[in-house]
Amino acid sequence: MSDGLAGVEGTEFHIEITERYAAHNYHPLPVVLASGEGAWVTDVDGNRYLDCLAGYSALNFGHSHPRLVARAQQQLGTLTLTSRAFFNDQLGPFALALSELTGKEMMLPMNSGAEAVETALKVSRKWGYQVKGVPENQANIIVMEGNFHGRTTTIISFSDDKVAHDNYGPYTPGFRAVTYGDIEAVRAAVDEHTVAVLFEPIQGEGGVVIPPEGFLRDLRELCTQENVLMVADEIQSGLGRTGKTFACDHEGVVPDLYILGKALGGGLYPVSAVCADRDVLGVITPGSHGSTFGGNPLAAAIGHEVVLMLLEGEFQERAARLGARLEAGLSALVGHGLRAVRVRGLWAGLDVEPGGPSGRELCKALSQRGILAKDTHGMTIRLAPPICITEEEVDLLVDTVREIVTASAS
């Protein structure tokens, strides 16, 4: 390397060149990962870690799942990209399988989660104008306080996270934020120009915040009564993470639109989609929306394999069973370094007792003991291990968290 950076390419080397040449839009823990298999990753210095973030649920199936890697390698040597100017032999089977998984009639493929959210917003507005009959440019969409749906200029326009929001204006109008989990607040915000309610069934970035029991059922009923689209962002919560295929399934609720991403690409490739019935997605016509890479053969092949794995049901069962074990272990720590614990499947938010180390400091301490996790909002730790984690590894996670938080509380 030039600039005096030649030498052993260990942790310090990689951190230095990354900090020097890559924009500082993230503040990573000082761990430089080089390989992964299953629930484990290894850094450039040979240290192993239990990955309990799993790429914010993108790695629900673990690192380098052999079935997904084999399918990706097969397609990689066959055909990767055509653009949607032509059909390809992978998109149709993927669309059919995803429609079976969601129970919806159509899907629209994109790449990143944020692109899928933007797609859902556009579909909702166009449906509002063409189907519901809302006057031009008068549509409004209700969103939830504490939301996280991505970082495009439109999406951050309705974010109340100052770091994500501030200094990016002017902002996109047409959104009304209400208290998450408060059905009466939603009801009060709906008017004749409301076209959709966009929500996360569980707020991941917010700290794995679970709404009150019955909120999703009440929201479904309200949206039906008011002829408003119920739009569920299941990018982090969906595809097995919570012990069900979708987090909405915990209340037996089916939204009008599913927004999917992250795990849909198996941790190998960015794959996202919006799924809905024909009377909703039918408003999209040729040229009105698209993506060069959306629905490409490689993405479709990987996404199809992911869906086939989920249709077998094993991952949902594992997340439910191992999530119960995780919850039992973590709940015992409330009052012993933790103020509150929220668990749904293999997804947990841990609120740290105030006055002690911050969430980041505790995550750094966890990493030094071989556990990778991520903090949010200062005093909350998020855990989302791959669903391929074993009972012994769940116990290792709980025991290590116990050591760290109890030591910090003493």
Q: Edge-to-edge strands of the sheet including 48-51?
A: 33-37, 40-43, 48-51, 371-372
CA pair distance 203, 205, nearest whole angstrom: 6
* Given 262, 351, 374, 375, the catalytic residue: 262
* Given 61, 94, 148, 315, the catalytic residue: 148
116 token code pair: 């899928």
127 token code pair: 């449906």
CA pair distance 247, 228, nearest whole angstrom: 20
Report the sign of the C-alpha dihedral through residues 11, 62, 102, 191, in that order. Answer: negative
The one-character DSSP state at 171 is P
Q: Determine the Cα angle at 268 with ends 26 and 74, to 5°.
A: 155
Dihedral Cα 100, 101, 103, 104, nearest 10 deg: -80
CA pair distance 97, 71, nearest whole angstrom: 16
61: β partners: none
Assess whether 315 carries a catalytic annotation.
no
Q: How far is CA 3 from CA 17, 20, 21, 24, 162, in A?
A: 10, 11, 12, 20, 36
CA pair distance 381, 143, nearest whole angstrom: 24
Cβ-based neighbours of 307, under 8 Å, separated by 6 or more: 94, 97, 98, 100, 101, 264
DSSP state string for 102-155: HT-SEEEEESSHHHHHHHHHHHHHHHIIIII-PPTT--EEEEETT-----SHHH
Assess whether 249 carries a catalytic annotation.
no
Buried b (16+ CB within 10 A) or exposed e, 80-92: beeebeeebebbe
CA pair distance 372, 53, nearest whole angstrom: 7
- Position 120, amino acid: A
* Given 233, 256, 351, 375, the catalytic residue: 233
Assess whether 233 carries a catalytic annotation.
yes
387 token code pair: 């669903």
Task: Give catalytic residue positions.
Answer: 148, 233, 262
